[in-house]
A and B are shown apart, each in its own frame.
Chain A
């Protein structure tokens, strides 16, 4: 059962074979996993990069249609790469749909994740179904592109379209921290 969201019927046809896709991840294994999932969707990963520097060089010279990038990488990380791309003035790549992936999102980096200019961030674990759903969603993302106060990217609020699924891990972290803070406050009160 694939149980893809309401945006697309399971029998509907998709054709992603013409999409020029770049995947950036410092883990060769994660790169291969993403590449295999994409291949199943009919997408050949044209550019598989193990670091942001390599990706930047390619982005300067070749047009891509979709960028999947890991958030945490040594050296230039995923956030910095996306921010660079959005500010690069490279047309049309500066406007390319960007999906970021993260095995885990550190609490202090949530603001960076929101502000770097990516279309969507997927926190792992994610299944093939989730990945396809997100790709289809960003392909149809109609939010206007903004350049405001240092931010360049799709409008951060979802007005007419809801985001596909919840940013579950981030929500869980915030909820857990709020509960922990409350529990800590109670413990202090009891000790006093």
Chain B
């Protein structure tokens, strides 16, 4: 994508306080009293499984749903009751929602025409937007004549040309094929960085969330589980749900011994370890240890017996750049990922291996409480 030459407005700051949406009285809330501060210029992703409330939250921000209670503020102003067509936000829809009876040019010009700008100015801005999206040759085409990726860019151009304070994305990449998705991810992120527009992005795809966001908001059944940078969400998940949802996870039952300020001594795989811990994993309740597959360390052993730190290889899958193993240990099954494996790290099903892990990479969590509903 070429250098973007779209003028922008001051990026807005969004504030959600105790924002709640209940559809029918007596039913569980779709969004249950969430608090969130989104800073100007930030790229925030709402991530979660379907039904978690992320889309409803986005629609409340856009104005298509009215909050049942709570406050929604843009740059400090309360906008709960402001009609969607009066909010300085632009949205890119999952289905792109291009007007089928208008050409690409007219689609992009639609919002500007409503602002009653003079025609030459409209043309200038639209052409600039189309140029930045490499869409200039398609200006006269009808939407159905374009490919999915091109339609996606038209939708983007149409949103950007409005100079919104906040840019909203409703799962825009889910209708694209894998390769295009990856490409568009990068383009959208680059664009956002260049323009510095506050962006709220909704997706259920964790790869998108991880690669694009400044911060990720992980949601589950209407509530926020964690708001953090991708690194922290990955390394220091706030709950078993988040740990399980992002990346792949092994959960081991452990005995918790001495507990420090931010670490704890645990016993697993036949020995003691010192691992970082979640503030709530203080030894008073049941705890579980998160070990990511790539943090597990395997070595061949001579010992003839299982137990302790010895495990048995149940299955192995060769990916080329890595090998994935399923290991059975006395502490439970483990999925292991060995990148760029040497011969010494190549095992066959049935082999016995010594199992360990990078202690600094592990994370002690309170065990999952059964989720209601």
A and B: bona fide binding partners = no
Residues of A near any B CB (own CB < 8 A): none
